[in-house]
Each structure stands twice: as C-alpha cells, then as structure tokens.
C-alpha cells in the first residue's frame, strides 16, 4: 500500500517514519520524501494508530488525492532546491516538476494555489531564499557563488529578491547573525 506523509523534508524524517512503521510491524518496501510503500496493507485501525504516532512527531498521513498531489509538488521543489545543483538544470523548475509528476503544469498550479494560497513560483522563491540563508550562515561561498549555485541571473537579482522577502540585504542578514531560518515544512 502506498502512504503519503506530510512534512517529510529530509533524510532524518525518512529514518524516523521508517522506524515508526517498522515498530508497527510493517515492512517498508520503498520510502522517499512524502511517500512510503508498505506491506501488508494496514487496516483502518492501523492507519489511525500510524497517523496518531506520526502526528506526535510532526508528520501527517495524507488521504485526499489533492493534498497528496500538493505534497508531491512540495517534495519535488525541496529536492530540487535543497539537494540538487540548480545551475546544472537546463529547464525551468516548474516545467521540470510537471515532467516529474507527469501532469500539466496549469493543473498543478491550480491545485497548489487552491490548497496553499500561494503560487508554485512564490513557493519556489521562498524555498530558494531559505537555502540562501543556510548558505550565508555557512559562510563557505560568497554572494556571487551563491547566486550561481542557486541559478540566479546575478548577485544583484538574488540580493533584490532576498531583501524583498526578508527585509534585509544578504550582507546585513549575514552580519546580524540572527538565525531566522524556517524549517522546510513551515515555508509558505
């Protein structure tokens, strides 16, 4: 049976969810961010128990098809922005997401906006800014290198977008040493 889980954003999330399901006696055939295939099929009572256990850890079982689709979109965006090299991708992120999910982008966009209250493009920008914050805090790359890594046309473009979302320039953010990064599942 295929289960969809909201708020899985990293490898630690995968590990925790796997452990929970195995504790319930299920074999996890396949697991990735937001999606788990388990055997045998859980019954309604088991699903409730799994949902309660995962809920206590900040996760949520998703049963509605629309919510599952939105979570898949988010997962694709998080994977692309936080775990890929954006400057090596030679097509728009939105088209890449549509291709990976094998759905029309206009359909995905409507479903996402209806559920989340923002566009996919704005969500992508917010995730990119969170990644930029992380890179600034690490201090290993300068702003030009970060702009290149995050596939911005220039460091000026990155700075303008960063300031419009955070109210600070990247250099002021870095100097302020205030860690206002959001957990990936809280970006909206």
Domains identified in the chain and CATH numbers: 2-63 (3.30.70), 65-188 (1.10.10.60)
Q: What is the pLDDT of residues 38-48, one digit of tens each?
A: 999 999 899 99
pLDDT for 87: 77
Peptide bond into 171 cis (omega under 30): no
- Separation CA 23–CA 87 (nearest Å): 41
Q: What is the pLDDT of residues 141-176, one digit of tens each?
A: 999 999 999 999 999 999 999 999 999 999 998 888
Nearest residue to 129 via CA among 59, 77, 55? 77
- Separation CA 168–CA 162 (nearest Å): 7
pLDDT for 188: 67
Q: What is the pLDDT of residues 133-148, one digit of tens each?
A: 999 988 899 999 999 9
Tell me the pLDDT band of 59, cut-offs 50, 70 and 90. Answer: very high
Whole-prediction pTM = 0.74
């Amino acid at each position: 049976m295929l289960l969809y889980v909201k708020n899985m954003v990293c490898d630690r999330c995968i590990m925790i969810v796997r452990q929970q399901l195995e504790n319930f006696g299920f074999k996890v055939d396949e697991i990735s961010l937001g999606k788990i295939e388990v055997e045998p099929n859980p019954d309604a009572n088991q699903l409730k128990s799994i949902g309660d256990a995962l809920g206590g850890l900040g996760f949520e079982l998703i049963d509605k098809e629309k919510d599952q689709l939105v979570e898949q979109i988010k997962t694709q965006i998080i994977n692309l922005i936080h775990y890929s090299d954006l400057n090596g991708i030679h097509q728009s992120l939105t088209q890449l997401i549509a291709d990976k999910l094998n759905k029309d982008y206009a359909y995905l966009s409507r479903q996402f906006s209806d559920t989340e209250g923002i566009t996919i493009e704005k969500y992508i920008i917010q995730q990119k800014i969170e990644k930029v914050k992380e890179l600034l805090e690490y201090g290993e790359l300068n702003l030009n290198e970060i702009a290149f890594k995050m596939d911005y046309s220039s460091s000026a473009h990155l700075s303008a977008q960063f300031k419009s979302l955070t109210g600070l320039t990247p250099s002021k953010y870095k100097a302020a040493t205030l860690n206002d990064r959001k957990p990936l599942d809280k970006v909206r």
